[in-house]
Amino acid sequence: MRESKDFLRTIVEEDLKSGKYREVITRFPPEPNGFPHIGHAKSICINFGIASDYHGHCNLRMDDTNPTKEDTQYVEALKDAVEWLGFDWGNNVFFTSDYFPKLYDYATQLIKMGKAYVDSLTEEEIRQYRGTVTQAGKRSKYGDRSIEENLDLFERMKKGEFKDGEHVLRARIDMSAANMKMRDPLLYRIRHAHHFRAGDEWSIYPMYDFAHCLADYIEGISHSICTLEFENNRDIYDWVLDTLGLTMSRPYQYEFARLGINYTVMSKRKLLELVKGGQVSGWDDPRMPTIAGYRRRGYTAESILNFCDQIGIAKANSMVDVAQLEFCIRDDLNTKVPRVMCVLDPLKVTIENYNGSEEIDASYYPHDVPKEGSRKLPFSREIYIERDDFIENPPKGYFRLTPKQPVRLRHAYIISCKEIIKDANGNVTEIKAEYYPESKSGSDTSSIKIKSAIQWVSAKEAKAVEVRLYDRLFANEAPEGVEDINPDSLKVIKNALIEPAVITDRLDERFQFERQGYFYADPTLYTDENPVFNKIVSLKDSWSKKRKVIPEVLISKIPKVQIDGEVVPMSEAEQALFDKYTGELKLNSEIANTLARDKNLSSFYEEALKQLDSPVGLANIVSNEVARELKVREVSQLKFNAKQISELVKMVDDETISSKIAKQVFEQMAKSGENPIQIVETKGLIQINDPSKILPIIDEVIAKNPDNVAKFKAGNGKLLGFFVGQVLKTTGGKANPKIVNELVVEKLKS
């Protein structure tokens, strides 16, 4: 577990601690209508991760309530994905469709309670009756059918006596609810469709809002975690369970922000379009952000798990940089996979002073990877190097082979260029080179300075392989659809040359092709006759990056312009109050404004004013503390009254307590309704003003923090708060902060 908890784990921990649940039970509830993508991976990690962190369990549940969209191939994909990521659902996959009979019973129960009715409006009428976000809707004329009639109709809907769309079952809630979702939501619709599991048994199917909460309840889920767009649905979730009286140890819904990654699309609809449109080879195309795609590409489960852990869980809509994912796979593979040499774009090099052949023993792993293993590298007169590892007229800072600059052949000798052979068009076709016999890697006595080592393969022994270079599927940072597709997202190199051991040894399925990136033997296309490697990810490349010029527009920050909106003008009465407060009572305009505009606050204030003539002190606490309480409850719900507030303020005014303590006392009053004077007495919160009592504490704090004293003296003024805080802390907040502040400054300056 990471050092800082996310908000979900905080909730779970509190619920466990308070005894609200004995065990945490979560669920991962996908709809089997598409392949899971990395956004699902996040959800899987959250649900299974929390369950395992707190020793509970997590169910895998297919939310299959819509027979027209779902299919069994997707449930297999979902199971595969969860399993591949390494989670265990206890060999028991749940299906919402298994609960159809129970759900039907719950629905009839609701009808019997008068809480649900069969509506027979058309689809269009239902939409119109629902109203808009600003206008209330109105109930259907079928809303007052008798319970008997509803029961009868609902049963006949189930029996299949009606056509699709003829009737629906709706909850009777509130057609004028501010939350649109609560305007008599649909519970069941008629669908004469074959369900991939339930077959043709049902002609009615429950809606998400009805089925999901009940499925959670049936499975004993404690924390029902979903994404932000379901926030509005939480009210129905609660309504259904509460109305049915399913309140004992019932689940509660919590929402987090779904994952977004730049340069990729993450909606199942858009992904399906790519598959259907043939822009990709299928759900598992290595460019797809599906779990199957990443897997096919060569990503490891560990890297994805790690990614999900790194990005965190919060409620802010966010777009994660794809570089973060790429880091995770590089980071994982760096310590795991063997290094080999592969030349993607070969340039022939003939080493004119080398005759014969030899085999070089070369470690599969670099010095900093603690793994053992090596292979034989054939070396001979004719080799191939990467075309861009030679430049006739190199730019400044180029480390590789040039007519003037020698280079090391990795694991082998240093060579230098003697002659450049070109074709009729002036393209380099071959390099005639010379090697230094005493420069062999591991026993180099040549003392020739080289700037880099490059990969190569021996012409005779090298094997031809197919290499598929994948790049991001979209060229646009926030792609909308096919129009943003990166035309170069796939480059197939048919005849790359690889050292023979990769094919003959088959040490691993993933390799680092040195200086290029990580590659994966394609699990379906790879054969001994035609080996195929997918590029998983490039190595970081600070050379090519350095050469790229960053456009100026990206560098210069455009300052955001803040527009100040218009403030609603005060009513006449409010204005009068405001004038009185600022004039007669000498309140500052901000406080006066807050009070005058809020009827509850101003009347509370006036009431308190009758008790104590301290207009400013009272105003401050009413407009700040009381206002906060009034945000979450009604005036009648307040545990404290104006008189108590006046008593509180009086203690501040006569310096019995500090304003810091006053806030603390207020909080307790708000919670318990106790009398402030009583609180101060029983807790002994009377302010310490006596410097002789404070000074020793200051000395103590200073003695304990010599580093910070030094920093403060060096000019770090922010540390003043630290010292004051420490002193206040040791006095339980009772020391007069103003005096502490003065004394600390005095002490530290001396």
Partner RNA sequence: UGGGGCGUGGCCAAGCGGUAAGGCACCAGUUUUUGGUACUGGUAUUCGGGGGUUCGAAUCCCUCCGCCCCAUCCA
Residue span binding RNA (CB under 7 A) among the ranges 52-60, 286-294, 441-449, 689-697: 441-449
Among 242, 422, 488, 543, binds RNA (CB under 7 A): 543
Residue span binding RNA (CB under 7 A) among the ranges 98-106, 108-116, 349-357, 403-411: 403-411
> Does residue 710 interact with RNA by CB under 7 A?
no
In the range 154-183, which residues lie near RNA by CB under 7 A?
A: 164-165, 168, 178-181
**Strand 346-351 to strand 428-435: parallel, antiparallel, or no bridges (unpaired)?**
parallel
Is the Cβ of residue 65 or residue 534 nearer to RNA in the bound state?
Answer: 65
Instruction: Give alpha helix (H) positions in 583-718.
Output: 589-597, 599-611, 615-621, 627-632, 642-653, 659-672, 676-683, 691-704, 706-713
> Does residue 719 interact with RNA by CB under 7 A?
yes
Among 567, 584, 637, 750, binds RNA (CB under 7 A): 567
CB of 705 to RNA, least distance (A): 7
> Does residue 747 interact with RNA by CB under 7 A?
no
Torsion of CA 16, 19, 21, 24, to 10 degrees: 20
505 closest CA partner among 327, 632, 373: 373
CB of 530 to RNA, least distance (A): 26
Among 172, 474, 726, 734, binds RNA (CB under 7 A): 726
Distance from the Cα of residue 273 to its chain's centroid: 25
CB of 85 to RNA, least distance (A): 19
> Does residue 369 interact with RNA by CB under 7 A?
yes
Residue 49 tokens read as 């991760």
Is the Cβ of residue 648 or residue 719 nearer to RNA in the bound state?
Answer: 719
Residue 282 tokens read as 């299928």
CB of 304 to RNA, least distance (A): 14
Residue 207 one-letter amino acid:
M
How far apart, in whole angstroms, are the C-alpha atoms of residue 463 and residue 526? 14
Q: Compute the radius of gyration of the chain from its Cα atoms.
A: 36
Structure letter (DSSP) for residue 397 = T
In the range 245-304, which residues lie near RNA by CB under 7 A?
A: 257
Q: Which residues contact 335 (CB under 8 A, 6 or more apart)?
A: 369, 371
CA quadruple 381, 387, 393, 398: dihedral positive or negative? negative
> Does residue 722 interact with RNA by CB under 7 A?
yes
In the range 643-662, which residues lie near RNA by CB under 7 A?
A: 658-660
In the range 506-525, which residues lie near RNA by CB under 7 A?
A: 512, 514-515
Run of H or E residues at 111: helix 100-112
**Three-state secondary structure string covering 654-673:** CCCCCHHHHHHHHHHHHHHC
Is the Cβ of residue 308 or residue 490 nearer to RNA in the bound state?
Answer: 308
Residue span binding RNA (CB under 7 A) among the ranges 13-21, 100-108, 150-158, 723-731: 723-731
How far apart, in whole angstroms, are the C-alpha atoms of residue 148 and residue 158? 15
- Looking at the annotation, which residues are catalytic? 31, 258, 268
CB of 395 to RNA, least distance (A): 9
In the range 31-70, which residues lie near RNA by CB under 7 A?
A: 31, 63, 65-66, 69
> Does residue 718 interact with RNA by CB under 7 A?
yes
> Does residue 563 interact with RNA by CB under 7 A?
yes
- Tell me the per-residue interface mask from 75 to 104 with RNA, x by CB under 7 A, - otherwise: ------------------------------
> Does residue 121 interact with RNA by CB under 7 A?
yes
Q: What are phi and psi of 569, to 5 degrees?
A: -65, 150
How far apart, in whole angstroms, are the C-alpha atoms of residue 252 and residue 213? 9
In the range 574-593, which residues lie near RNA by CB under 7 A?
A: 588, 590-591, 593
